[in-house]
Homo-oligomer: A and B are copies of this chain.
């Protein structure tokens, strides 16, 4: 049912009931939740679930490379279950709405060798910002 659960199991990671609920909550949504939003929604299915377990589990899924941690606003991190599928993010400066978007090409190729300062560059993420249709009308 949950593809994220399948991917997690491949790491020989024990799928406990708590972890399954958290993974399915993450994957079942099309917005990127904060840890507390995941806790709130997961608790509808498993009321005794603790905050510490949600934080632990999310951090472990990030460490396994199956979930991306997004930190755009400096307030709270958000979690993106599509770690395998290259995409970027478009954020509304008015209301904070976030969309996944796909750009043409690979940003790493746009960084010249003499701008790399000897780094081994492995990833690149683009954050687009603007105003969504609703917030353009409101302005």
Residue A86 CB within 8 A of the other chain:
no
The answer to whether A127 touches B127 (Cβ under 8 A) is: yes
Q: List 7 A-B contacts (CB under 8 A).
A: A101-B111, A105-B110, A117-B132, A120-B130, A122-B131, A123-B130, A125-B129
Give A105's nearest chain B residue, CB to CB. Answer: B110
Highest count of chain B CB atoms <10 Å: which of A77, A108, A115: A115
Given contacts A71-B74, A126-B126, contact A119 B131 (CB under 8 A): yes
Residues of B within 8 A of A120 (CB): 130-131, 136
A interface residues, tally (CB under 8 Å)? 42
Q: Which residues of A contact B (CB under 8 A)?
A: 69, 71-74, 76-77, 88, 90, 92-93, 99, 101-105, 107-108, 110-112, 115-133, 136
Q: Complex Cα distance A133/B119, Å?
A: 6
Residues of B within 8 A of A72 (CB): 71
Q: Complex Cα distance A105/B105, Å?
A: 12
Give A71's nearest chain B residue, CB to CB. Answer: B74
